[in-house]
Chains A and B, each alone.
Chain A
Amino acid sequence: MAFPGWSALFLLLFLPTAAVAEAGPAETAADRFLSDAFTQGVPPPKLLWLTGERRATAEMILGHAPRAMRIRYRQADGRTAWILEEIGKEELITVGLLVSAGRIERLRVLTYRESRGGEIQHDYFTRQFEQAGLSDDLKLDRRIDGISGATLSVRALTRLARLALYYDGQLDPD
């Protein structure tokens, strides 16, 4: 018996819809970053309080007081994941950072809201941060090449990379 044409059309039209409905609400960039970082399952979040010297050091790295008094992170298998935000020129840039053994394993720009300087989201730029560590004076131990027209965004990313490394160094090993 020949496969009915109408049934094929019906399947073509409604199967993709059914698949989307099955997937549920859209996965966000942060979800993807965390699930890529922890393939065995995303660990539950923990809190790092910014008090005393820790807050003062964070302020020194950022060049301004941190917006909040505590930071959320995830930790498993000797690695920590941080989702941090900093203003580039006028808008907040949301960045995911994965730190392993005191070095940046991965840096991803999760949300970029500025109208210019979007080049910093590209892999060729963010790859520069991989394996960067923190020197004694809390600077990155390598030079990050800038992008013309995105100087402030590059600086914001560099500050967040230093901050994630500093925060990671403040934690007890899991």
Chain B
Amino acid sequence: MRIWSIWRLHKQVGIWLLVWVVWMVASGLMMNHAPALGLAEINVRPALLTVGQRQPPPERETTYQLGGTLITQLDRSLYRDDQILDQCEEALVGAVALPDFGVVACGGRLLLLSNAGEIVEVTSASDLGLGSITAVAVDEGGRLLIRSPRGAQRADADLLSFTPVTGLADWVQPVELPEVLRAKLLAQQGGISWARWLSDLHSGRLFGRYGPLVVDGLALLLLLVSVTGYLLHRRRVSFIHRDHR
């Protein structure tokens, strides 16, 4: 009667554990082949993320119009439309289109972009002899104007030399980030890849801080079921041998 109870318990626990074993085998196989499947490059849809996996909203969010494109800063990431452009730890202060290239000013950094969006030059405001940049504008002649702690300056065509200017300039102002683009950028920024999602599922991290403990418990249970399975099998074999004798 006692053996029968152990056998029933072993069987029931084993059936329940089967679900977990399938989950572990499937996620493990997928993780092993994640690079070949390109799972590290594809982000999971936000709806599939658990609360713990979701990123908080960005602390810094600014957008400027640059010709027909939008330059957006979300925290430290700079985007040209929905493509990552560069990283900038300071605040995006403006973007202007000049006749030959576009200029993006982010704190102490100036990015010159070709019309195709390639980075032509990355230069620091201190290397330009300006300390830092607080605003940018374009004058009537298509020249770049920079506002810095050293005063307003007008750049030459190659941005090699600057001359002080006086008077008011029409410093560019931020524009509103369209909601569709914002959602896309947030998904890129806060998103996690399928490879990471599978790893979180495998380890139990997907289910919060106690998830890995539950997985540990299930693993110990599987170990116990394996041991009881072996012992029950040994007992059954010895019974069969005794009956034959």
A interface residues, Cβ below 8 angstroms from B: 24-26, 28-31, 42, 44-47, 67-72, 83, 85, 92, 94, 113
In the complex, how many residue pairs between chain A and chain B have their CB atoms under 8 Å apart? 51
Given A25-B149, A31-B129, residue A44 in contact with residue B124 (CB < 8 A): no
- In the complex, whether B41 has a CB less than 8 A from a CB of chain A is no
Q: Tell me the smallest distance from the CB of A86 to a CB of chain B, in Å.
A: 12
Check B131–A26 contact: CB distance below 8 A.
yes
Q: How far is the CA of A83 from the CA of B128 in the complex (A)?
A: 11
Q: How far is the CA of A92 from the CA of B89 in the complex (A)?
A: 10
Given contacts A28-B126, A70-B121, list 6 more A-B pairs with CB under 8 A. A25-B149, A26-B149, A28-B131, A31-B129, A68-B122, A69-B120
Check B124–A83 contact: CB distance below 8 A.
yes
Q: Tell me the smallest distance from the CB of A27 to a CB of chain B, in Å.
A: 8
Q: How far is the CA of A70 from the CA of B123 in the complex (A)?
A: 10
Q: List 5 tightest A-B contacts by C-beta distance, closest first.
A: A28-B126, A30-B126, A25-B149, A68-B121, A25-B131
Given A30-B124, A83-B124, residue A69 in contact with residue B118 (CB < 8 A): yes
Q: How far is the CA of A129 from the CA of B129 in the complex (A)?
A: 26
**Interface size of B in residues (CB-CB distance below 8 Å):** 22
Q: Tell me the smallest distance from the CB of B138 to a CB of chain A, in Å.
A: 21
Check B160–A44 contact: CB distance below 8 A.
yes
Q: How far is the CA of A44 from the CA of B86 in the complex (A)?
A: 27
* Residues on A with beta carbons closer than 8 Å to the beta carbon of B118: 69
Q: Which of B114, B119, B123, B150 contacts A24 (CB 8 A)?
A: B150
* Residues on A with beta carbons closer than 8 Å to the beta carbon of B122: 67-68, 85
Name A111's closest neighbour in chain B (CB-CB): B124
Q: How far is the CA of A45 from the CA of B127 in the complex (A)?
A: 9
Q: Which of A25, A29, A46, A70 contacts B120 (CB 8 A)?
A: A70
B residues 123-167 with Cβ under 8 Å of A? 123-124, 126-127, 129, 131, 148-150, 158, 160-161
* Residues on B with beta carbons closer than 8 Å to the beta carbon of A47: 121, 158, 160
Q: Which of A29, A69, A94, A113 contacts B119 (CB 8 A)?
A: A69
Name B161's closest neighbour in chain A (CB-CB): A44
Q: Tell me the smallest distance from the CB of A55 to a CB of chain B, in Å.
A: 12
Given A31-B129, A72-B127, residue A45 in contact with residue B121 (CB < 8 A): no
* Residues on B with beta carbons closer than 8 Å to the beta carbon of A44: 160-161
Check B160–A45 contact: CB distance below 8 A.
yes
Query: Which one of B112, B122, B126, B161 has the greatest number of beta carbons of chain A within 10 Å?
Result: B126
Name B89's closest neighbour in chain A (CB-CB): A113
Q: Tell me the smallest distance from the CB of B29 to a CB of chain A, in Å.
A: 32
Q: Which of B119, B131, B161 contacts A67 (CB 8 A)?
A: B119
Q: Tell me the smallest distance from the CB of B144 to a CB of chain A, in Å.
A: 15
* Residues on A with beta carbons closer than 8 Å to the beta carbon of B86: 67
* Residues on B with beta carbons closer than 8 Å to the beta carbon of A67: 86, 119, 122
Q: How far is the CA of A30 from the CA of B124 in the complex (A)?
A: 9
* Residues on A with beta carbons closer than 8 Å to the beta carbon of B114: 69
Q: How far is the CA of A92 from the CA of B109 in the complex (A)?
A: 12
